[in-house]
Every structure is written in structure tokens, then in C-alpha cells.
């Protein structure tokens, strides 16, 4: 991340000297975008290895997909010329992933069991330097513009209180007890051993800013992303190893696939012109 910051600052300084003829919007060239974004994870829901996802409904688990991913962005930029700008985007995404429970697990007094587990919440932090450009007659930051960026995204499972049920397939019976992370020491997902999933992000955004006042604009558009990075290998452990790593690694893989299949976000917000 330090490399991206240094490169962005160097680019900013090198282009600052060429911006003296830019009048900006009412003479203002600095701008800050505050955006909320959302998407429906269509590909992630249908291409995930787990057939079903589960959510807690009171004291029971019900079948449910992750139907809405949300997030926010803070974008600070500078209009170098009428049709050229530089900006830095920071934000977080919030989503959930299904657990592939097709692998057997060996925990506690159970020998060969499966687990029906509530979907795991995921928090992703993004950092993306961007180049913004428009037509020669534009007056950035106002109006329609295109954004190109390349940055990084770090995804981590959120250690919440999840509900899960142990299924003993050797007898064909569901254990009647529903456990939760807060009151059980045998949760098959070991949050202490989660690794952060890193992806490089290539971004294109179509952005529209409509003036409200001399210092405030309504901002909206669509962001398209390609998430590039290695997907962790699946690891399966029997009773001779760590009994929780199988499911923990499965969740890491689900997070990596989910990010790779996240293509588009719609966003809306406000722009402050300074």
C-alpha cells in the first residue's frame, strides 16, 4: 500500500504545475465525494460451491442467499485541468459468504459429522488511486466523467455470534442442539486462524455530478471492477490435525471467489467542492 501512496503523491506533484490555467468549478479544484454503494451478488450466489446459505431467524436457521451487498466510499480529488483529474478512493464493502459443508469434520465427541452454519459476514477495505477524465469542453469536477483506477482490496471474515447445527450423517440424524459462537468452544470455523484475502482491483467508473449549489453536487453512477489475485488452496484436515482448519480454509476460499465475482456496484452520494 505504501508503494501506491508514493506513486500517487509523485503523480500529483508532477501534474500540479500544469494546472495553473484551470479555472475549476467556480474557481474550485479540490473535491471530496461521499458515496454509498450497493449490488446484488448474482454470480457469487449461483456459482458458489455451497448450494444453500443459512441465516439466523430467532433461534433457528433458515435457507437464505446473500441478496444485497453494501458499502461506502470516500474519494478525494483534484482537477488538474478542465477535463483531467486525480483522486484517491478509500472505502469498505460489507457482504456474506456461504460455507461449503460438503466435507466431513471431526470435532469434540463427534467423529464424522457435517455442519449447517450461518453465512459468514465479510468486511473488505479498498484503496484505489484513480485517474478521472472527460471531454475537452468539460469543467471537472462537474458533469459526466470516466474514472480508471488500480488498487488493492483486503477482505476479512467478521467474528460475530453465528448460529450452527451439527449433523451426524453416520446415523442420519440432526443433532437437536443449535450452537452459537458465543456459547460453544467447538465452532468449526476458527476465526483466530483466518488469513486476510488480498486482491488487486482494476476499476472503471462512469460518474455523474450534478450541481446543487456552488459548493455541493449530487453524485451518482456505476463502478465496474475486476478483482485479481490468487485464491487460497483448499485444505482438508482429519482428526489427526486441527479439526477447524477445513472449514476455516473453506471460508477463505469462498471470500476469494466472492471478490473475484464482484463486478459491478451502483452508487449515489454528494460531492463537496473546495
Longest dimension (CA), the chain: 78
- Partners of residue 266 on adjacent β-strands: 38, 222
According to DSSP, the β-strands at 114-117 and 173-180 are: unpaired
Enumerate the H helices of the chain as residue ranges: 2-16, 42-47, 245-260
Q: What is the CATH number of the domain that holds 213?
A: 2.40.160.20
For 113, counting Cβ atoms within 10 Å of its Cβ (0-12 exposed, 13-18 middle, 19+ buried), the class is: buried
Q: Measure the CA–CA gap between 52 and 263, rounded to whole angstroms.
A: 22
The span from the CA of 37 to the CA of 72, in Å, is 6
Check pLDDT > 90 for residue 261. no
Residue-wise pLDDT tens digits, 198-256 = 999 999 999 999 999 999 999 999 999 999 987 655 444 444 456 566 677 778 888 88
Q: Please give the average per-residue pLDDT across 119-128, as a whole number.
A: 95
Q: Domain tally for the chain?
A: 1
Could you tell me if 37 and 94 are in contact, meaning their C-beta atoms sit under 8 angstroms apart?
no
Q: Of 91, 87, 89, 90, which Cα lies nearest the Cα of 77?
A: 87
**136-181 residue pLDDT tens:** 888 999 999 999 999 999 999 998 888 888 776 666 565 555 667 6
pLDDT at 16 over 50: no
> Distance between CA 216 and CA 274 in Å, rounded?
9
Q: How confident is the model over 2-19, as a mean pLDDT?
A: 50
Q: How far apart are the first and last CA of the chain?
A: 27
Q: How far is the C-alpha of 15 from the C-alpha of 103, rounded, in Å?
A: 55
Q: Are 75 and 33 in contact (CB under 8 A)?
A: yes
Nearest 5°: the CA angle 110, 115, 116 is 150
Domain that holds residue 243: 2-273
Q: Which residues pair with 75 in a beta bridge?
A: 33, 89
The Cα 113–Cα 170 span in angstroms is: 7
In degrees, rounded to 5, the angle at the alpha carbon of residue 188 between the alpha carbons of residues 164 and 171 is 70
Write down the pLDDT at residue 54. 87
Please tell me the distance from the alpha carbon of residue 221 to that of residue 260, in angstroms, as a whole number.
21
Asked which of 63-67, 72-76, 96-100, 106-110 is least confident by mean pLDDT, the reply is 106-110
Amino acid at each position: 500500500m505504501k508503494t501506491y501512496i508514493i506513486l500517487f503523491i509523485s503523480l500529483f506533484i508532477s501534474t500540479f504545475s500544469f494546472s495553473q490555467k484551470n479555472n475549476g468549478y467556480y474557481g474550485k479544484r479540490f473535491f471530496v465525494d461521499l458515496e454509498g454503494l450497493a449490488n446484488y451478488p448474482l454470480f457469487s450466489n449461483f456459482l458458489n460451491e455451497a448450494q444453500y446459505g443459512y441465516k439466523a431467524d430467532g433461534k433457528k436457521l433458515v435457507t437464505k442467499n446473500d441478496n444485497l451487498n453494501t458499502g461506502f466510499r470516500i474519494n478525494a480529488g483534484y482537477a488538474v485541468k478542465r477535463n483531467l483529474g486525480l483522486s484517491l478512493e478509500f472505502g469498505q464493502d460489507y457482504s456474506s459468504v456461504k460455507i461449503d459443508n460438503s466435507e466431513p469434520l471431526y470435532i469434540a465427541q463427534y467423529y464424522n459429522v457435517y455442519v449447517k452454519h450461518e453465512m459468514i459476514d465479510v468486511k473488505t477495505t479498498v484503496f484505489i488511486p484513480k485517474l478521472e477524465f472527460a471531454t475537452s469542453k468539460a469543467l471537472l469536477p462537474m458533469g459526466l466523467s470516466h474514472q480508471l483506477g488500480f488498487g488493492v482490496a483486503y477482505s476479512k471474515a467478521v467474528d460475530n455470534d453465528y448460529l450452527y447445527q451439527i449433523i451426524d450423517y453416520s446415523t442420519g440424524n440432526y443433532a437437536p442442539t443449535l450452537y452459537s459462537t458465543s456459547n460453544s468452544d467447538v465452532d468449526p470455523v476458527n476465526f483466530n486462524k483466518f488469513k486476510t484475502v488480498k486482491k488487486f482491483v482494476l476499476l472503471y467508473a462512469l460518474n455523474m455530478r450534478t450541481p446543487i449549489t456552488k459548493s455541493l453536487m449530487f453524485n451518482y453512477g456505476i463502478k465496474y471492477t475486476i478483482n485479481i489475485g490468487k485464491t487460497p488452496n483448499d485444505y482438508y484436515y482429519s482428526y489427526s490435525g486441527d479439526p477447524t482448519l477445513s472449514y476455516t480454509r473453506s471460508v477463505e476460499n469462498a471470500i476469494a471467489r466472492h471478490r473475484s465475482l464482484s463486478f459491478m456496484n451502483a452508487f449515489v452520494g454528494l460531492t463537496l467542492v473546495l
